[in-house]
Structure 1
Amino acid sequence: MRVNLSKILQDAQENGYGIGAFNTPNLESVQAVIAAAEARNQPVIIMHAQIHESLIPLEVIGPLMIRLADQAKVGVCVHLDHGEDLGYLLHAMKMGFTSVMYDGSRLPYEENLANTREIVRVAHYLGVSVEAELGRVLRPEGGGAPDPEEEILTPEACYTDPELAKAFVAATGVDALAIAFGTAHGIYEAEPCLDFDRIAAIHKLVDVPLVMHGGSGVNAADFQKAIVAGISKINYFTYMSLAGGRAVRAYFSQNPGRDLRFDEIAEIGRVAMQADVEQAIAVFQG
């Protein structure tokens, strides 16, 4: 059953648990996430990120996500993640996505605010929820090609300011806010140091659900501390994808010389991703 972000997060926010949001850049990952949610009997968010256009275009994966969400036995939000192009976001809305995330975090505050307000105006007219981001979630060291803009930033300089978050939410009318408090996108080489007091301070001032980006690599105890402090939506992708790849590698290691059809390889990866997502959902539920 396809639902929007506000509906899927309302109960989580009121009852103090987290909802997992998983990027799904291929058929097997969409199937894995929805099957995991059904196995746990929990709602879930499936996402397509604009940066994944090179892996699979929105035109291809979007209709598939929508169809499988409609057929699911649990509530599924179909979400556009990290959209930076306003036209691209509008296209996803018209396609049937029930939620979009506008990422203006690299822009000056006033420009981010103005763009977000316009997206909210259009999205709410279409019955679509909007997530925005305030602050910068960086890549960890060793987590891919460095962003020149980020090389001069300290983590503390990127953290979301609670008072600014309050003003931003009030001015834009967003339905959820992604905040920066010490997580990072990609693979962690060391345990992240999370500012739980900052989450709690923002949660006290802001009445919309708060979102954790860069959730992969955070340990179970820290996930639960973040949820207690006020996080309702947790973005998780890298380690789920790695679980699929590692399962395929393990199979070939255990069966040297064995020829395997691609559909068999894909199924090995799908099963491993489903197991990883089930574990993540269990952690987020507390």
Structure 2
Amino acid sequence: MENLQDGYLLRNGIKIPCIGFGTWKSPDDVVCESVKVAIEAGYRHIDGAAAYANEAGVGKGIRESGIPREELFITSKLPNADHGYGPAKESFERTLNQMGLEYLDLYLIHWPVVIEHKDDFEQDILDTWRAFEELYEAGKIKAIGVSNFMIEHLEILKNHAKIMPMVNQVQLHPQHPQEEMVTYCKKNGIVPEAWSPLIQGQAFKRELLKEMAQKYDRTVAQICLRWIMQKGVVPLPKASSIERIKGNADVFDFEISKDDMEEIATLRSYGMIGDEPNIPRTKQVVGF
């Protein structure tokens, strides 16, 4: 990967840019300006979700960027309350209307919501996914995938669905490397994405990452993002200032050594943020 326009080919031949711009926790007016700054800085991959309650702002930023729509890769996600065949289709149309777009490049099931559906969670996932498959086949979505799915949830789709997810967006960072998940995804033709690549700010508290930043003459954020990229995963950093938006994109002219990659992964001892997706949403970090 040499720049923000480089990327990975999904199973259907669609290219997903190697770094996405995150939009969580940004109100409409702020996210509109951030999206425009990100696109001006070279980002072509914008990651959003209905749960972020700012799709109108994201869409406005996209339209006002001056970049042709076909040159951008736009993602959104299905709200947890809209699972099911009919509700998922209706929710997708609301997202398009909110964003003012004619299609999405990627649409994800945001969470598997296993506990909430108890004994029928497998059927809930399959019914919801069937709506995704039909929207994809109708050309309204260029690619479909999931978010926060564990391997056991992916296996449900692998064994019963017509189309395997093309992307799985999960919590992945030096404290939660997800080696098994990354291996599974690559084996099954799924591109893994990393939400919270900067550990929701905790990265800046880790002495090891500070030492690595000094060693490579980079910022802590750049170390985290480069580490994720070298694992073959798409990071989704969020920033609001011009300096940080541009800084997060400046990760293509250095490489972390194999030994340092492994040392950074020792931060796994701190663990993930929140709980695994099988835990009820009330205990989750629900933003992503």
- Given the two structures, how large is their TM-score scaled by the length of structure 2? 0.56
Distance in structure 2 (CA, Å) of the matches to 1:284 and 1:110:
43
Q: Is the 8 A contact 2:225 2:248 kept in 1?
A: no
Runs of at least 4 residues of structure 1 off by over 4 A?
14-17
Aligned partner of 1:116 among 129, 134, 156 = 129
Q: Is the 8 A contact 2:76 2:107 kept in 1?
A: yes
Deviation of 1:201 (Å): 1.2
Q: Percent identity?
A: 12
Deviation of 1:174 (Å): 2.9
Distance in structure 2 (CA, Å) of the matches to 1:10 and 1:134:
25
Distance in structure 1 (CA, Å) of the matches to 2:194 and 2:28:
23
Q: For 1:95-106, what aligned pairs fall within 5 Å after superposition?
A: 95-96=100-101, 97-98=103-104, 99-106=106-113
Q: Is the 8 A contact 2:169 2:194 kept in 1?
A: yes
Equivalent residue number for residue 91 of structure 1: 94
- Kindly tell me: are residues 127 and 200 of structure 1, through their superposed partners in 2, closer, same or farther at Cα, counting changes over 3 Å? same
Please, which runs of 5 or more residues in structure 2 have no aligned partner?
10-14, 83-87, 115-120, 204-220, 255-288
Please, which runs of 5 or more residues in structure 1 have no aligned partner?
1-8, 136-159, 184-191, 242-272
Deviation of 1:125 (Å): 0.9
* 1:33 aligned onto 2:22: no
Of structures 1 and 2, the one with the larger relative CO (CA 8 A, separation 6+) is: 1
Distance in structure 1 (CA, Å) of the matches to 2:249 and 2:68:
16
Distance in structure 2 (CA, Å) of the matches to 1:36 and 1:62:
11
Deviation of 1:134 (Å): 4.2
Aligned partner of 2:8 among 13, 23, 27 = 13
Deviation of 1:12 (Å): 1.2
What secondary structure sits across from 1:131 in the alignment? Answer: strand
Equivalent residue number for residue 174 of structure 1: 165
RMSD: 3.6
Distance in structure 2 (CA, Å) of the matches to 1:199 and 1:285:
27
Distance in structure 2 (CA, Å) of the matches to 1:193 and 1:285:
24
Q: Is the 8 A contact 1:203 1:210 kept in 2?
A: yes
Equivalent residue number for residue 222 of structure 2: 220
Superimposed CA distance per residue, residues 48-93 of structure 1 (whole angstroms, 9 cap, x where no aligned partner): x32333xx5x4x4365144225x22793233324533222223223
Distance in structure 2 (CA, Å) of the matches to 1:45 and 1:20:
5
What secondary structure sits across from 1:19 in the alignment? Answer: coil
What secondary structure sits across from 2:7 in the alignment? Answer: helix
What amino acid maps onto 2:242 in structure 1?
Answer: Q
Deviation of 1:285 (Å): 8.0
Q: For 1:198-277, what aligned pairs fall within 5 Å after superposition?
A: 198-217=180-199, 218=203, 219-232=221-234, 234-237=235-238, 240-241=239-240, 273-277=241-245
Deviation of 1:180 (Å): 4.5
Deviation of 1:121 (Å): 1.6
- Given the two structures, how large is their TM-score scaled by the length of structure 1? 0.57
Q: For 1:22-101, what aligned pairs fall within 5 Å after superposition?
A: 22-23=22-23, 25-39=27-41, 41-47=42-48, 49-53=49-53, 56=54, 58=55, 60-61=56-57, 63-69=59-65, 71-72=66-67, 75-81=71-77, 83-84=79-80, 85=82, 86=88, 87-93=90-96, 95-96=100-101, 97-98=103-104, 99-101=106-108
Deviation of 1:168 (Å): 2.9
- Kindly tell me: are residues 11 and 113 of structure 1, through their superposed partners in 2, closer, same or farther at Cα, counting changes over 3 Å? farther
Q: Does 72-81 or 202-211 show the bigger shift?
A: 72-81
Deviation of 1:27 (Å): 3.3
- Kindly tell me: are residues 36 and 16 of structure 1, through their superposed partners in 2, closer, same or farther at Cα, counting changes over 3 Å? closer
